[in-house]
Chain A
């Protein structure tokens, strides 16, 4: 089974989360892996948000998780998941240059709105750069992302190098990269909450337009929707969320929050609205849990903990998600294979009855086994399934026979098989000796509507489509 191979990763992540939760106080050896749990009192204090600092951090990170979950969903569906990655790296030179410019004009270099504007401008330039590279050259989008990300970050490194040498009160610019989640101020949390709320409102107001853009941008353009404007709006949102989030939680966490909740929510549903809500919930909850854990283990970087919590949510969703999760899809596959096996068994028994005439109605497994190719163990599983479904029963110790319900089902699947064979011969000009294999696969997926269409297509050449004869109870 595929998901079984993921088990080691799950265990590894579990171990790390456990290690991360360990409160490391006092000197300890690096080989010391004891998990030192915080006291119950600490846990209660954090969970009830009684600590002012903890409350601010938890609320701020939760709002950020919700907002980036929403935006991330649209970016994921637009197949631009990594744009946030490139963008957040591209903000660095803007932040550095803004600092230098503000210092040069004698202002306070770390005036936050100024830094944010600088970052937003260079982030926007980065997006323009990506668009220019993909439009003007034959390079693909992944290359454009890589180029913009690394070159802009390089410029940022050079600018920060100058900032360090020039001096000034530059300490803290670094927090744009690592974040300073644990020391988030009330004003930071409030900014995040307001901006996140505004972005969520606009997303909800424009949900129809954005949905159309994500699923069929060409159709949206042909219907006269301003797709370029909508795309630009999405980019502006990403820049906005990234800029706000960057200085609060850092670069890697920001990228993770834009990608992971949306990707995790995708496993739970095929509906966009549900996915949006799911992504917002996963983003918000991982933010809250991660912030709470890091409040209990202050030595650990909060951003990293939140990423790991979101990663665990992703892994859980990937394995257990009911619509696209690995288990759900494996289960559907097994059920389909079981149904196919059962139908093969029924048709084999029908064909045996046909050959044997009216005097034989029960067969040994050897007889059935000789009727067609069975994979190892397939026949036994099919017999078990068919007996459970009441389609066959035991005539005596070693012989199987079709029940009335089984006779009806066997007749139907045989008929579907033969209708399809006939259709392939008459309408697809395929040699009669070649049609059995195709029909073998198709017979299982013919629903009543398709059978009616087949009948209509064949009725001109074959007026009497009541073949093959039903097995009447007399035979059995």
Chain B
């Protein structure tokens, strides 16, 4: 994964590019923090709804005050953002409409309202729908604002301010956010007002959305809200870590995204063409998410598949040992081909079987080519497996009174999860019989 210095080394970035990346990273982190809670509350689409619905808030704030003062705009948008959540909740509860549908009704209507208001004021307002949808991160560094003696780009001030607000509120109310997110009922009984926390989150989302609007546009705000959080969910089960990972993913996506926007078109036969950084950031986020879905530890697709494979290899190993033991009981030589055929007949795939055989040979439990033989240690392990199996059959017959033809299948599953202590317990419970219910000898421990 290219890191920022690596990208800086391979490209000729000016200070303009660095500022673009900084703005993207700051607004990304500001979005990612409330986004984690949206995702955990299963309200991801609320980000979509709010980011569309704040449009009339922006328009009304302008029409009423006639300024483009960021505080006024933020306030107007935040009010409408919270109203979106309130209306959605009303329609959902008073009209018993599916939550997704009520969201859809509210935000499309509010967006339409906003469009009309903007068109009404189009002669005067510097707010065009294109800018709202796509944003204009490239123009971000051009407009500077002097504040506290520092002349930084205006969007750095705005998004930075929102980032500080979000981080401060989430840090200060961390416990309240956590409890009300995971268990609203518990939070109410503990005296934390779950409804207030819900609307506080909606307010944060609304403010964040509006701040990020100018830089990345209304749709990509959703990417910044949801995708870092979803990516972090693949890596972590703890809320604190999820927030940190989400912030890191959001920050990382800005340099990668800008680099993609500059270099990407050339890969597809458009040399010398660059494209929108906002789109690049969304692609970078999507890429990081896809990588995480595939490679994340524990929750990733590869890791889950490996885990399943390891489990099935272990089961196949134990089944192989049991098979060799039983063949030994019958006095039949264990020809390689026959062993394979018998194992395949129990639905073991060729890869699993090969891996199981290899690992048994490597550990020296099984020897011999062409004809498989159990080593001393292999014979002991095989005896334990068969012993577990037949003790279970005896136990199931004695204690659960299962019919004789139902014993084998259950014991076949249980033998793989039986520890030595459980085996001892089974011996005690069954009274150490010589034969299992099918009349087969239960092999004894050597001691």
Contacts and interface: CB of A to CB of B under 8 A. Distances in A.
Nearest to A78: B98
A81 B283 contact: no
The A contact surface, by secondary structure, is: helix
Contacts of B91: 318
B104 A139 contact: no
Interface string A96-120: 0000000010000000000000000
Contact of A307 (B102, B112, B217, B276): B112
B43 interface: yes
Contact of A154 (B102, B129, B282): B282
A379 interface: no
Nearest to B111: A252
A256 B98 contact: no
Contacts of B103: 82
Contacts of A82: 45, 48, 100-101, 103-104
Given A30-B63, A324-B95, A146 B222 contact: yes
Taking each of B129, B283, B285, which has the highest tally of chain A beta carbons within 10 Å of its own beta carbon?
B283
A139 B230 contact: yes
B94 A3 contact: yes
Contact of B223 (A27, A150, A262): A150
A161 B270 CA distance: 12
A143 B43 CA distance: 8
Interface in A295-320: 299-301, 303-305, 307-308, 310-311, 314, 318
B94 to A, nearest CB: 5
B94 A178 contact: no
Contact of A155 (B105, B112, B279): B279
B179 interface: no
Interface string B38-49: 010011110110
Nearest to A325: B95
Given A136-B293, A255-B104, A260-B108, A143 B230 contact: yes
Interface stretch (A12-20, A187-195, A349-357, A455-463): A12-20
Nearest to A89: B219
A262 B260 CA distance: 41
A426 interface: no
A311 B112 contact: yes
Contacts of B269: 104
Given A16-B116, A178-B129, A76 B101 contact: yes
The B contact surface, by secondary structure, is: helix
Contact of B98 (A3, A6, A81, A253): A81
A133 B293 contact: yes
B94 A326 contact: yes
Contacts of B97: 263, 266, 318
Contacts of B11: none
B350 interface: no
A203 interface: no
Interface in A128-161: 133, 136-140, 142-143, 145-147, 149-151, 153-161
Given A3-B94, A178-B129, A259-B104, A146 B285 contact: no
B283 A154 contact: yes
Contacts of A139: 39, 230, 233
B225 interface: yes
Contacts of B112: 252-253, 256, 303-305, 307-308, 311
Interface in B34-59: 39, 42-45, 47-48, 52
A5 B286 CA distance: 41
Interface string A155-178: 111111110011000000010011
Contacts of A324: 95-96
A19 B113 CA distance: 11
16 contacts: A19-B120, A30-B66, A81-B98, A146-B222, A149-B222, A151-B289, A154-B220, A157-B282, A165-B265, A256-B105, A256-B108, A263-B98, A263-B105, A301-B116, A308-B109, A311-B108
A-B pairs with the 5 shortest C-beta distances?
Answer: A154-B282, A158-B279, A161-B275, A150-B223, A151-B286
Given A154-B285, A253-B112, 10 more contacts: A79-B100, A81-B98, A137-B230, A146-B227, A157-B220, A158-B261, A259-B104, A299-B119, A304-B113, A308-B116
